[in-house]
Structure 1
Amino acid sequence: MYTPAITGTGVFTPKNVITNAELVEAFNSFADRKNAENAKAIDAGEVEPIQHSSEEFIVKASGIESRYVMDKSGVLNPEIMHPTLRQRSDEEPGIMTEMAVDACDKALQKAGRSAQEVDLVICAASNHERAYPAIAIEIQQALGTNGFGFDMNVACSSATFGIQAAADMVRSGSVRSALVVNPEICSGHLEWRDRDCHFIFGDVATATLIERMEDAKGPHFEIVSTRCATQFSNNIRNNNGFLRRSRPDGLVDRRDMQFMQNGRKVFKEVLPLVSKHISSHMEEESISSRDLKRLWLHQANKTMNDFIGKKVLGREPEPGEQPNILQDYANTSSAGSIIAFSKYSDDLEEGDVGLICSFGAGYSVGSVLVKRHA
């Protein structure tokens, strides 16, 4: 048996930024346009008018101030309100592969490794641009890695579930090193015309290199242990898929084929689930809240993270103990906790212990206990 370690991480950040001010202006223009079209029905009480959004509403509801996206023009066009990404030919690399390769190159560079030294690629993301062939195999070819690759989807927990799968294979000896990559184009499955959720998501890609600790060339994080759990719920869902079910009128432009969430139930049910999961994981490894130097949580909502941090630590987290990147990146699904880890982990000292945790649709929750080795 071998000890797995995280030896490198990488983050691909799109060039386009949408601020809350820009997003609100586009949404309110769309709302005014739709309300004007439905004026008679609204006056007759048959249709509810679309309420305006505001910067204050977005920050209060989420803590988000801006987000990165692969396409900005389509999202901010009141007549389109979704990213306009061109259809690529079968001979071109897919957009997820393009994002993933950038993140993987950065992770490999940080670890002092070449792509040829990698045995496994796991593409773990909440949405995939096609059913098959696997995006991971395309990434494998683009990078020039050896071995094999496969896709995973556990929604916002995809990264931690992918890390557990890779760590288990490294631990058993079936692979020597693995890349877990999370290319998240969340803008493509968000309904930008829905006031309750139009601000939530952004785009990004992260990559984590996991290999035998004995092979590490520099500072690294020993993977002490991992825990994953699932509990079925429909409160966060996306019903899009290969089964093209139509509405009674024959159309397929269904709202439930994009991101849907019952926010109040999610808050009520997910918070205790995640807090208990983390606390149980730490207890099983005889790690107390005093031993924990840092929490890298899923970046979905600031209020949720503040609650979880306080519950796990038994007090308000000190500055730096629970870093947030939500204000700049928004919710990037499975990639969020890895962005936080990548940006806020190099300062930890020898022997310091931290925990990566992601949670979301499923419900699903995954946690990774790590120890710093300088």
Structure 2
Amino acid sequence: MTSRAVVVGVGHYLPQRVVPNSEFEATLDTSDDWIRSRSGIERRHFAADDETTSELATEAARAALADAGLKPDDIDAIVLATSTADLTFPSAATMVQAALGMTRGFAFDLQAVCAGFVYALSTANAMILSGQAKRVMVIGAETFSRIMDWTDRSTCVLFGDGAGALILELQEGTGQPDDRGILATDLNSDGQFRELLYVDGGVSTQSTGFLRMQGNQVFRHAVEKLAATAETALGKAGLSAADVDWIVPHQANIRIIQGTARKMGLDMDRVIVTVQDHGNTSAASIPLALSVARQSGQIKTGDLIVTEAIGGGLAWGAVVLRM
């Protein structure tokens, strides 16, 4: 028998405020057509002024618990992927732990920008396989609207706020590729590309800063690296692209999503796409898309899923799992 980290619950939360592309036309030299043609984005959600990342994460966590039929104290650990935590410290994850009324276990944040959820899944999987935890809540939550330069039309129209969560549980499998659960992971980073995507502020500079991006360069790296990491993870699992039911990619840009699918030889009808409704929600985008697709009936138990993401660092990776 082989231990597996199996998904037993998923959930998501989106702030109430919906911002269509047309809302930017009053303040920027842009248009709905311009944004759609370059990104595929039609609308996104922004958190209210008094709404924090940990609050979004808590609502997603509650939805995942309800989906799994579990209570907060059934969870051993929370891993929260975010680049926009409420405070420098303590971690947003411990705030979620308190808000849920979870009186045991441990919680911590993980920061790998848009690749954060993939990194968090890999970390949670390792904790389960090593015996540190039996059930782990993995959350991606962001309020990227807090770090936008509203005069930069090349970035501020691309991002949104939201949260998604899933619960991994230790179960026994056969060790074969048809097992449910996480089958393989692949993580990568290369710090020499820092200038391509970063925030020009932080604790050491005593400023929050704004997101800065060289979009053309990020696109060039994204398609190549995302297809490669997905294929590497599939190879580790003893599978190939032909075995995949769904790709659930980081929802950054429809052209990146299409380019990656094309490079992997997969049709777009096997790709979950939510970027049109949410924009780029960074670490939240994969669990958001996964939850939405589960709710709509697209993704079903037993489906083979590949998730892949790339973000600032550059950091990128993929996870192969069977629902």
CA distance in 1 between counterparts of 2:123 and 2:307 reads: 15
CA distance in 1 between counterparts of 2:205 and 2:316 reads: 30
The number of aligned residues is: 312
Match of 2:273 among 320, 324, 328: 324
Alignment correspondent of 2:197: 236
Give per-residue Cα distances to partners, 1:83-129, cap 9 Å, x unaligned: xx25xxxxxxx822221111101001111111011111112112222
Alignment correspondent of 2:126: 168
Matched, 1:211 2:169: yes
Tell me the secondary structure at the aligned position of residue 280 of structure 2. Answer: coil
Please state how far the C-alpha of 1:308 moved relative to its aligned partner.
0.2
**Contact kept? 1:2, 1:172, Cα under 8 Å:** no
CA distance in 1 between counterparts of 2:300 and 2:202 reads: 45
Query: What is the CA RMSD across the aligned residues, in angstroms?
Result: 2.0
Q: TM-score, normalised by structure 1?
A: 0.79
Please state how far the C-alpha of 1:351 moved relative to its aligned partner.
4.1
**Contact kept? 2:61, 2:139, Cα under 8 Å:** yes
Structure 1 residues 97 and 352, CA gap change in structure 2 (3 angstroms) = closer
CA distance in 2 between counterparts of 1:222 and 1:135 reads: 26
Matched, 1:277 2:205: no
Structure 1 residues 243 and 348, CA gap change in structure 2 (3 angstroms) = closer
Tell me the secondary structure at the aligned position of residue 59 of structure 1. Answer: helix
**Contact kept? 1:270, 1:363, Cα under 8 Å:** no
> Which has more helix, going by share of residues?
2
Match of 2:138 among 177, 180, 184: 180
CA distance in 1 between counterparts of 2:305 and 2:72 reads: 28
CA distance in 1 between counterparts of 2:81 and 2:246 reads: 24
Structure 1 residues 286 and 221, CA gap change in structure 2 (3 angstroms) = closer
Match of 1:357 among 293, 298, 308: 308
Give per-residue Cα distances to partners, 1:196-234, cap 9 Å, x unaligned: 12211111011111111259xxxx951112211111112
**Contact kept? 2:74, 2:135, Cα under 8 Å:** yes
Please state how far the C-alpha of 1:270 moved relative to its aligned partner.
2.4
Matched, 1:116 2:65: no
Q: TM-score, normalised by structure 2?
A: 0.91
Alignment of 1:28-47 (within 5 A): 28=28
* Equivalent residue letter for 1:243: S
CA distance in 2 between counterparts of 1:274 and 1:166 reads: 21
> Which has more strand, going by share of residues?
2
CA distance in 2 between counterparts of 1:55 and 1:169 reads: 44
Give per-residue Cα distances to partners, 1:300-351, cap 9 Å, x unaligned: 0000000001111x25x142x1021000111100111111111224544564
Match of 1:299 among 251, 258, 263: 251
Structure 1 residues 68 and 284, CA gap change in structure 2 (3 angstroms) = same
CA distance in 1 between counterparts of 2:307 and 2:44 reads: 22
Matched, 1:101 2:101: no
**Contact kept? 1:190, 1:258, Cα under 8 Å:** yes
Alignment correspondent of 1:344: 293
Tell me the secondary structure at the aligned position of residue 191 of structure 1. Answer: coil
Unaligned segments of structure 1, at least 5 residues: 29-51, 72-84, 87-93, 246-251
Alignment correspondent of 2:92: 135
**Contact kept? 1:127, 1:155, Cα under 8 Å:** no
* Equivalent residue letter for 2:320: L
* Equivalent residue letter for 1:139: V
Structure 1 residues 121 and 354, CA gap change in structure 2 (3 angstroms) = same
Percent identical among aligned pairs is 25
Give per-residue Cα distances to partners, 1:156-186, cap 9 Å, x unaligned: 0111111111111111111111111222101
Whose Rg is larger?
A: 1
Match of 2:239 among 272, 275, 287: 287
Alignment correspondent of 1:223: 182
**Contact kept? 2:222, 2:256, Cα under 8 Å:** no
Alignment correspondent of 1:91: none
